[in-house]
Amino acid sequence: MSSSQYTLYELVAHADDRESQSTHSFFVLRTKLDLALLGLKYTRVPLAFGDIEGTLGAGVTLPTLATGTGRVVDSFSIAEYLEGQHATGGKYLFGPGGSRLARFIQSWADGALLPAMMPLLAPLFVAHNDAASRAYFVTRIWPADEVERMSAELRDAERVRENAAAVRKVLRVLEVYLAHSSGRFILGDTPTHADSIVGGYYFASQVNPALNALVWDHAELPRVARWVKDFKEASGFEVAYPPPPAGVVADV
Ligand SMILES: N[C@@H](CCC(=O)N[C@@H](CS)C(=O)NCC(=O)O)C(=O)O
């Protein structure tokens, strides 16, 4: 089976220079990390919000993976598909019993980590959006008044520190889990989809580089910091976002 059989439809912040942008979508990042962990090549189709419906149809979300015989939508379904096609003894996304743990990590991350991180990230997602993508985001993804409130908080150094402390409190769950489990990753010494879920939040949060010192490399979370180093190395993955525009993030 050729390793470049896949096409990944992924989100980018604005419609210009699509090819040069790193996706900031938590969900697309999961799939990109899974593909990296399995060593699979793919063709990217970067889409701004406004391109999704015309390209893929109404109601379709990103990531979407075209497999050559069909399309798989939803990052967890894509992980299951890739597991079925490519898992080996040494590289896999779930492994025996891993799917249940990954589901649990997904509901913890999307239910607790995502809302805690949004005040520190959403204003930057919006700042990098073009006007059409911004309008889509605040009408269809996250309410405009909340984005406005989060933007005001991100300009206030004290609120940034409080919001970062709230994220650390959520990540304390992972810190304690890592303290009581063996291996460098969430499921032992092999990085899996569970790591890609948390990794998606780590990589997306590079849109706000202040979060490294405030969250990901903080003395309160030494095992999380170690995990970040190990997962970056194991995935070999990188993102490159433009620096935060002046005035969007307070100096902390
Ligand atoms: N549960 C889905 C969520 C995917 C998702 O919400 N993707 C967003 C981009 S970050 C999207 O495509 N939104 C378009 C829309 O909702 O209209 C997954 O894990 O793939």
Pocket lining: 121 vs ligand 1, CB cutoff 6 Å: no
The pLDDT tens digits of the residues spanning 47-75 come to 999 999 999 999 999 999 999 999 999 99
**What is the architecture of the domain spanning 6-86?**
3-Layer(aba) Sandwich (3.40)
The pLDDT tens digits of the residues spanning 169-216 come to 999 999 999 999 999 999 999 999 999 999 999 999 999 999 999 999
The pLDDT tens digits of the residues spanning 172-183 come to 999 999 999 999
Pocket lining: 63 vs ligand 1, CB cutoff 6 Å: yes
**Cross-strand pairs, 71:** 66
Classify residue 157 by its DSSP letter: H
Residue 2: per-residue pLDDT: 46
Whole-prediction pTM value? 0.97
In the chain, CATH 1.20.1050 covers: 98-235
What's 98-235's CATH class?
mainly alpha
The pLDDT tens digits of the residues spanning 61-112 come to 999 999 999 999 999 999 999 999 999 999 999 988 899 999 999 999 999 9
Helix, strand, coil percentages in the chain from 3-state DSSP, rounded to 5: 60, 10, 35
Residue 1: per-residue pLDDT: 43
Pocket lining: 204 vs ligand 1, CB cutoff 6 Å: no
C-alpha to C-alpha distance for 23 and 183, rounded to whole angstroms: 29
C-alpha to C-alpha distance for 117 and 115, rounded to whole angstroms: 5
- Residue closest via CA to ligand 1's atom 2 equals 74
- Locate the ligand 1 atom nearest the alpha carbon of residue 60 and give its number: 12
Our mutation pick for probing the ligand 1 site, out of 27, 71, 105, 134, counting the most ligand atoms within 8 A of Cβ, is 27
C-alpha to C-alpha distance for 39 and 24, rounded to whole angstroms: 21
At 4, is the pLDDT very low, low, confident or very high (cuts 50, 70, 90)?
confident
A 10 A CB-CB count for 71 gives: 14
Contacts of 92 (CB under 8 A, 6+ apart): 83, 98, 190, 192
CA 199–ligand 1 middle distance (angstroms): 17
Pocket lining: 27 vs ligand 1, CB cutoff 6 Å: yes
Backbone phi, then psi, for 128, in 5-degree steps?
Answer: -90, -10
In the chain, CATH 3.40.30.10 covers: 6-86
Whether the Cβ atoms of residue 246 and residue 196 lie closer than 8 Å to each other: no
The pLDDT tens digits of the residues spanning 118-164 come to 999 999 999 999 999 999 999 999 999 999 999 999 999 999 999 99
Contacts of 24 (CB under 8 A, 6+ apart): 11, 13, 121, 125, 128, 204, 207, 239, 241
- Residue closest via CA to ligand 1's atom 14 equals 61
Spatial strand order of the sheet with 71-73 comes to 42-47, 6-11, 64-66, 71-73
